[in-house]
Amino acid sequence: MDMPNRPSRKSCLIGDITLSYVERHSDLRGRGKTLFLSHATGFHARVWDPVIACLPPVHSICVDLRGHGHSTGGPFDHWHVIAEDLAALLDMLDLRDIVGIGHSISGHALTQATSMRPDRVAALVLIDPVIMDPEFYETGARIMQAVGLHPAALRKRDFTGPDEMFARFRDRSPYALFTPEALHAYCDHALRPDGEGGLTLACAPETEAAAYMAAFSNPAIFDHVARVACPVCVLRSDPFDLQTMHDFTRSPTWPGLAATFPDGTDIQRPDLTHFMPMQAPDFVAAEIAHAAGLTA
């Protein structure tokens, strides 16, 4: 008999793609909040495992973004695409009373999805959600256009298995910041068969690079920020500027963001980085538990 906290892999057709997700504690659906967790560019649903391990039993859904993990789809050129995917998934699963937890691109996208589906979301925890200073968008877009090919497109894509990934990444930035459990959670689920007997990154480098290149594509996000009425907790680290925008450990989130939400709270952790869920899963879990009203 399956344990209710065991991750159950499921999928849902959204337009012309299939979004895959992992569900835990389906037995608790409707008995309190549902956690809806969505990952950063280049990662997948199972990177949340160490965070969830720090939480009491609760119904949760962890989604693979399009072009990531077990989901289908490829490169996209605008971040509103991810917001529309997530809003559609909330509809298809008929999720209500959720606490949306989004890291990086997903924090940005969940903000817009919440604006689009306000009756489904009770609270948001936005972990460095890449909603940048409004003045950065025009200049940042020009800088990205001048970059041409993003370096992420050239990253190593083929591996013999998770062990090779772990050994390669454990001493490299930013992965060296991760707890061992978080790095294993990433590496253990980051690969898929390449069709030729080998293994390749489930998030193709082209998809990862396209997401970064589109980081300044959605300045209209501030229209959605103003319409999010639920409580919002913004977690961020030391901010970047246009000179340090390629340092992935710095926070791209505008320090004034939380104050722009009707009911926003700002929590800055300069001792952490953009990769908080992997670096300090216990801290992130505590903020999620607070937002969801969970007790041990």
The confidence score (pLDDT) of residue 151 equals 86
- Are the beta carbons of 191 and 202 closer than 8 angstroms? yes
User: What is the pLDDT confidence band of residue 48, given thresholds at 50, 70 and 90?
Assistant: very high
Rounded Cα–Cα distance for residues 29 and 151 (Å): 42
String of b and e for 144-178 (b: at least 16 CB within 10 Å)? beeeeebebbeeebebeebeebbeebeeeeebebb
148 Cβ neighbours under 8 A, 6+ residues apart: none
* pLDDT above 70 for 13: yes
Please state, as a whole number, how many other Cβ atoms lie within 10 Å of the Cβ of residue 244: 12
Average pLDDT of the residues in 52-61: 98
* pLDDT above 60 for 245: no
The confidence score (pLDDT) of residue 4 equals 66
Greater confidence (187 vs 148) lies with: 187
Average pLDDT of the residues in 49-74: 98
The confidence score (pLDDT) of residue 1 equals 38
The confidence score (pLDDT) of residue 19 equals 99
For each of the domains in the chain, give its residue range(s) and CATH number, in order of start: 8-292 (3.40.50.1820)
* pLDDT above 70 for 81: yes
* pLDDT above 80 for 146: no
* pLDDT above 60 for 237: yes
**pLDDT tens by residue, 88-136:** 999 999 999 999 999 999 999 999 999 999 999 999 999 999 999 999 8
Query: pLDDT > 70: what percent of the chain?
Result: 96
**pLDDT tens by residue, 252-276:** 999 999 999 999 999 999 999 999 9
